[in-house]
Copies of this chain bind each other. A is one copy, B any other.
Amino acid sequence: MNPAKASGCGKVVVVSKRNPDQTRARILQAAFEEMRRNGFRAASVDQILADTGLTKGALYHHFPNKAALGHAVVDELIGASICHAWIEPLQSTKDPIAGLLQLLESIPPEKLAAVAQTGCPLNNLALEMSPVDDDFRQRIEAVFRAWREGVAERLRAGQEAGYVAADVDCEQAATFFVASIEGAMGLAKNARDSSVLLACVCGIRRYLESLRPAA
């Protein structure tokens, strides 16, 4: 019997036997974790396969080479993750400054501790790959650009609604916001100390509140 049919529903989830989509997803996920540990160039294809229990035949069936695998990790996992964590939650807020602060200050301590260990996967890859692989660089840049523009757009909306001072350059402010967050994650990662993140959240709060209209 076909186990896929046996599940008998529209969204079929199969563990056993042939399931190329799931196989591809497993490779992607394991590649993401290996890249988070070791970066892209030091990421071992053999290690990724050992983690998944698959073999080279599977990997090179789904991806032409290691670079394409890395590109897919950026596009499909990291890009989606950034969008989910930093852009989508802002869509519902009227006051962008309050929204951004809420985003930062509602991060649970265990998540802060995790970030202090790994840093931001996007920035890690950016600093490693941008000088040596322009294809990587452009895909990472697309994610950064979406992030910056997502924040800038909300700031502009908040500006028209009177939550942000009229003389603020919203693209500039969004760029600085993103840069500060990435810088904070990098410092915290090297220090292995989540209190660095708390210090930077205080700094960002002070900066964001300086964007308010003069009372």
The interface of chain A, by Cβ under 8 A from chain B, is 37-39, 41-42, 117-119, 123-124, 126-128, 130-132, 137, 140-141, 144, 169, 171-173, 175-184, 186-187, 189-192, 196, 199-200, 202-204, 206-207, 209-211
Is B179 touching A196 in the complex (CB atoms < 8 A)? yes
Is A179 touching B186 in the complex (CB atoms < 8 A)? yes
Is B189 touching A126 in the complex (CB atoms < 8 A)? yes
Q: How many copies does the complex hold?
A: 2
CB distance from A84 to the nearest CB of B (A): 20
Can you sample 16 A-B contacts with CB below 8 Å?
A: A41-B41, A42-B42, A123-B186, A126-B187, A141-B190, A141-B191, A144-B191, A169-B199, A171-B199, A175-B187, A176-B203, A178-B183, A179-B183, A179-B196, A179-B203, A180-B203
Is A37 touching B203 in the complex (CB atoms < 8 A)? no
Is B189 touching A130 in the complex (CB atoms < 8 A)? yes
**In chain B, what residue has the closest Cβ to A174?**
B199
Is A180 touching B186 in the complex (CB atoms < 8 A)? no
Is B191 touching A187 in the complex (CB atoms < 8 A)? no
If A127-B186, A203-B207 are given as contacts, then 4 extra A-B residue pairs at C-beta distance below 8 Å, sorted by A number, are A42-B132, A123-B127, A131-B189, A179-B203
Is B204 touching A176 in the complex (CB atoms < 8 A)? yes
Is A37 touching B210 in the complex (CB atoms < 8 A)? no
How many Å lie between the Cα of A189 and that of B203 in the bound state? 23
How many Å lie between the Cα of A77 and that of B123 in the bound state? 24
Across the interface, A187 reaches (CB within 8 A) one of B41, B128, B179, namely B179
Contact A196/B210 with A41-B41, A186-B182 known, Cβ cut-off 8 Å: no
Across the interface, A210 reaches (CB within 8 A) one of B119, B130, B132, B207, namely B207
Contact A186/B128 with A41-B42, A180-B179 known, Cβ cut-off 8 Å: no
Which 3 A-B pairs rank lowest in CB-CB distance, beginning with the nearest?
A183-B183, A176-B203, A179-B183
**In chain B, what residue has the closest Cβ to A132?**
B38
**In chain B, what residue has the closest Cβ to A137?**
B190
Inter-chain contacts of A119 with B (CB < 8 A): 127, 130
